[in-house]
Amino acid sequence: MRKFNVAVVGATGAVGEEFYRLFEEYDFPIAKLVPLASARSVGKEIEYAGRAIKVQELTHDIFEKEEIDIAFFSAGGSISAKFADSAVEAGAVVIDNTSHFRMDPEIPLVVPEVNPEDIRLWKNRGIIANPNCSTIQMVQALKAVDDLYGIVRVDVSTYQATSGAGKAGMEELVKQMQDFFAFKLGESPHEAFLHQIALNVIPQVDVAMDNGFTKEEMKMVNESRKILHKEIEVAATCVRVPVLRSHSESITVTFGENVVVNVDEVRQAFDNFEHLVVQDDLPNGVYPMPVTATDTDLTYVGRIRKDIFRDNILHFWNVADQVRVGAATNSLRIAQKWIELED
């Protein structure tokens, strides 16, 4: 089997570091691993397959010098904007985890369980975009019920973990909790988030847009439509909660007027869908939570119920690890499918 030279751009970040564990778990066919970060990280080492590998500085030339075949970018949109083309010019396929290329009509936006066929469009620009974390776990569940009944509209509220803001986000939550127990939470700084995150919830993720929604909310709208290839209506309210690394979502789906939701059928559809797991036994307190999903590659659904007033409306709850399912694992699954296609 062919092996690949793989670069991880953002090698010292929350998502970057997750890749090394995943490469081993998935036995990803790596000939050479090249971790890349800013000049600040030169001299640091990462651990992969029992070996320490030196982090190198991200430059335009490095992809050619290291003969990179696959480059995973996870260092922020501005870095992808500046360096992705250099990787492509050096002959690599770029799997980009930032929002920079997602809505470019030439660039495929892929959740492998939902629209794997779009990976073929990688040839357009040499780039495949990885969707926003909240979008990935939602569209996995939506696809299952869309195939069943045909979605018309989705209303979603998210409960997003601090990992979405990278290592700095998680560290800010931990520091504020420590400061709380030291009776100095009031003096604890907040830089990763607009407000204190410990013992709080913040109804804003990313910047405000002119239409009253946030950028994160509009990502969920636009990306879901692009991935599902369907002009569904989506309204999102994205909320940051003091959880370390798994996002939860409360999702309401409206189907066509004539649909009569059957909860057993829906449960079956979720159960049959790749990488979805149903945990749904409310009387016994069984439903997924961030602690259920963290450090797993599965997307969990529960609290599945039909609307009290309308036969064509379904409500459910959905949880997944933001760093894995919402970022590194989805990128890795894209790469696996890309390899299958290239073979």
Shortest CB 29 distance to ligand A2P, Å: 24
CA distance 318 to 241: 15
Shortest CB 249 distance to ligand A2P, Å: 21
The single residue of 100, 133, 238, 275 carrying the catalytic annotation is 133
**Position 196, amino acid:** Q
Shortest CB 85 distance to ligand A2P, Å: 15
Closer to ligand A2P by CB, 63 or 213: give it.
Answer: 63
**In what helix (H) or strand (E) does residue 239 lie, and over which residues does it extend?**
strand 233-240
Residues 162-181 that bind ligand A2P (CB under 6 A): 166-168
Look at residues 121, 126, 129, 123 and name the one whose alpha carbon lies nearest to residue 100.
129
CB–CB of 37/76 below 8 Å? Answer: no
Shortest CB 41 distance to ligand A2P, Å: 3
Report the residue closest to ligand A2P, judged by CB.
Answer: 13
CB–CB of 73/98 below 8 Å? Answer: yes
Q: What is the DSSP string of 241-297?
A: -S-SSEEEEEEEEEE-TT----HHHHHHHHHHSTTEEE--BGGGTB---HHHHTT-S
Closer to ligand A2P by CB, 168 or 286: give it.
Answer: 168
Reply yes or no on whether 247 is catalytic. Answer: yes
Can residue 16 be called a binding residue for ligand A2P (CB under 6 A)?
yes
Reply yes or no on whether 238 is catalytic. Answer: no
Can residue 12 be called a binding residue for ligand A2P (CB under 6 A)?
yes
Can residue 10 be called a binding residue for ligand A2P (CB under 6 A)?
yes
Number of C-alpha atoms within 13 angstroms, CB side, residue 310? Answer: 12
51 by DSSP, 3-state: which? strand
Number of residues interacting with ligand A2P: please give it, by CB under 6 A: 18
Residue 173 CA to chain centroid, in angstroms? 20
Shortest CB 211 distance to ligand A2P, Å: 27
Residues 20-59 that bind ligand A2P (CB under 6 A): 37-38, 40-41, 58
Closer to ligand A2P by CB, 7 or 221: give it.
Answer: 7
38 by DSSP, 3-state: which? coil
CB–CB of 160/245 below 8 Å? Answer: no
**Of 6, 75, 133, 238, the one binding ligand A2P by CB under 6 A:** 75
Can residue 136 be called a binding residue for ligand A2P (CB under 6 A)?
no
The single residue of 100, 238, 247, 275 carrying the catalytic annotation is 247
Can residue 13 be called a binding residue for ligand A2P (CB under 6 A)?
yes
Biggest alpha carbon distance in the chain?
63
115 by DSSP, 3-state: which? coil
Closer to ligand A2P by CB, 37 or 141: give it.
Answer: 37
Say if strands 45-48 and 51-54 run parallel, antiparallel, or are unpaired.
antiparallel
Site of interaction with ligand A2P (CB under 6 A): 10-16, 37-38, 40-41, 58, 75-76, 79, 166-168
As annotated, the active-site residues are 133, 247
